[in-house]
Amino acid sequence: MHLAHIYLEQFRCYTRQELELPPAGIRLAGSNASGKTSFVEAIQLLSMMKSARASVERELINWESNAEFGLPPFARIQGWAEGAVDVNSIEIILTADANRPNHTKKQIKLDGQPTRSIDAVGRLKTVLFEPEDMDLVLGSPSVRRRYLDVAISTLDSTYLRILSQYNKILEQRNSLLKSFRDQDRSTRSARSGELDYWDSELINRAAYIVAARLRFLDQARDPLARSFQALLGEEHELRVDYQLATRLDESGSERDVDVHDFTGLQRQISQRLQHEIENRRAEEFSRGVTAVGPHRDDLMFLLDGRDIESFGSRGQQRLAVVSVKLAEVDVIQQVSGQTAVLLLDDVLSELDERRQQRLLELVGALGGQVVVTATDARLIQVEQLEQLPLYHVDSGQINAV
């Protein structure tokens, strides 16, 4: 699968930009603030229907859009995919709400038909590499949970649906716990049936989410170790462990679970959560928040069994996150049979020359479409990328070199 053509209108710094992309991809060079990340962001948006970097969607619309006509500002992003896809055109139209600042209406069309966001996610599969990926190791647990959620949602629309239900249930359950906080014991026990209801709703979704995360990590395990060794060029083992806020099995760890029996795994997680939720009722009452569940879980990166956040060098941490992304491409291939579009935004300058070469060799071996950007054109004027046309971007305008 590849993105064959893209059209941007009033998107970020691009007023109007049209570009053909060959199946192998393109190289994009440009100085700081020229529009490299924005271009990559547009492709990622066509994949996930949501920008990974914008906090509000209004940011995506060109500042000057429609200013002189007195019409609501808008942006349009359209992409045409080719090869092994069930949809050809993906279109996103963002319109600012004139009456409410920061409110933006988003319309999505697949082949011209209005579609819900949840049904459009993952039609175009992309994997984004960017310098901010370091947060996967160095950032808070929520960064790692979000990474897993995005990666799995691309492959499994049920996951996305269940996750959104889970978040709503969590909110309801937390507000119920808060309301219980101020009540005496007898009122609480009179209303305990309400909590039982939310417990089972929560556990039901939580079990699917955790099981899907464990399955994803299991699928990623071998490719992860392989990519890391290939990048580093040394014999070191990289592993990513899922850290449950509660252990599945008190004696062992969740690494021993059988992810191939998905239903059995969900049942095992449900039982564990049920037990844990009962154990921590008093704590939940006093704090007024849900203490267990996938919103509390985390990932741990282990290099030869040691936490890479504390013990790894900067370079090892960087290679670890790059390996995670390469492993993600592998999992997408295993599960969907499709090769994701790789978006490498400004990542080469972060690696030493030997690792740059190795990364480009690994990327080349995957055989998918690549969009690679750099501020220093020399970094992408290398043998491994020779077959990709080179473009130059300046103030939101892309031109062939």
Q: Which uninterrupted H or E stretch holds 2?
A: strand 2-11
The residue whose Cβ lies closest to Mg ion is: 37
Size of the site for ligand ATP (CB under 6 A): 16
DSSP assigned state of 13: T
In the chain, what are the helix, strand and coil shares in percent, each to the nearest 5?
50, 20, 30
Which of positions 10-69 make contact with ligand ATP (CB under 6 A)? 12-13, 30, 32-38, 59, 61-63
38 binds, among Mg ion, ligand ATP, none (CB under 5 to 8 A by kind): ligand ATP
Residue 38 or 266 with smaller CB distance to ligand ATP? 38
Stretch that binds Mg ion, among 29-37, 95-103, 350-358, 364-372 (CB under 5 A): 29-37
Q: Which residues of 156-193 are buried (b: 16+ CB within 10 A; e: fewer)?
A: beebbebbebbeebbeebbebbeebeeeeeeeeeeeee
As a whole number of Å, the end-to-end CA separation of the chain is: 26
Nearest alpha carbon to residue 124 among 362, 352, 372, 342 = 342
Residue 95's DSSP bridge partners are: 74, 105
Q: Identify which of residues 63 and 197 has a Cβ nearer to ligand ATP in the complex.
A: 63
What's the closest the beta carbon of residue 75 comes to ligand ATP, in angstroms? 8
Residue from 37, 78, 268, 339 binding Mg ion (CB under 5 A)? 37
Contact 391, 400 (CB under 8 A): yes
What is the DSSP pairing of strand 390-394 with strand 370-374? unpaired
Q: Which residue number, 2 or 12, has a Cβ lying nearer to ligand ATP?
A: 12
Contact 104, 94 (CB under 8 A): yes
Task: Give least dist CB 14 to Mg ion, A.
Answer: 14
Q: Does 17 bind Mg ion (CB under 5 A)?
A: no
- Minimum distance, C-beta of residue 314 to ligand ATP, in the bound complex (Å): 20
Site string for ligand ATP, 117-136 (x = CB under 6 A): --------------------
Binding mask 336-375 for ligand ATP (x = CB under 6 A): ----------x----------------------------x
DSSP, residue by residue, 123-141: SS-EEEE-GGGGHHHHS-H
At its nearest, how many Å lie between ligand ATP and the CB of residue 15? 9
Binding footprint of ligand ATP on the chain (CB under 6 A): 12-13, 30, 32-38, 59, 61-63, 346, 375
